[in-house]
Amino acid sequence: MMKYILGFIFLLIGVLGIILPVIPGVPFLIIAAFFFGILSKDKVVKYMKKFKNGDKNSSINRLINYVLIRYVHKKTPLNANGKN
């Protein structure tokens, strides 16, 4: 059930990203497709590598990395100090 809720949240962010030029829409639509079971884990990782910005500390990249680590790879992300 939680996967579907997250899927709808990322779907809404993705649609807003297409409408508003401030946030990217495609990475959030890819994450939403993963949560709905449309894309496999391998395809999500492959597609998400294409959409990362050059700035590693941007909030969009941190959110994408968190979702990839937490839900796609099913691991607990490290804190900012490098510890769990």
Residue 34 resides in a domain: yes
Does any domain span residue 83?
A: no
On whether the pTM is more than 0.75, the answer is no
Q: Is residue 78 part of a domain?
A: no
| Residue 39 domain flag | yes
Name the domain count of the chain. Answer: 1
Question: Does some domain include residue 28?
Answer: yes
Q: Is residue 84 part of a domain?
A: no
In-domain check, residue 60 = yes
pLDDT of residue 55: 67
| 2-48 pLDDT, tens digit each | 889 989 999 999 999 899 888 888 888 988 998 898 888 888 888 87
Query: What pLDDT shows up at residue 24?
Result: 82
Whether 79 is covered by a domain: the verdict is no
Report yes or no: 61 and 30 within 8 Å, Cβ to Cβ. no
DSSP string computed for 8-55: HHHHHHHHHHHHSSSS-SHHHHHHHHHHTTSS-HHHHHHHHHHS--S-
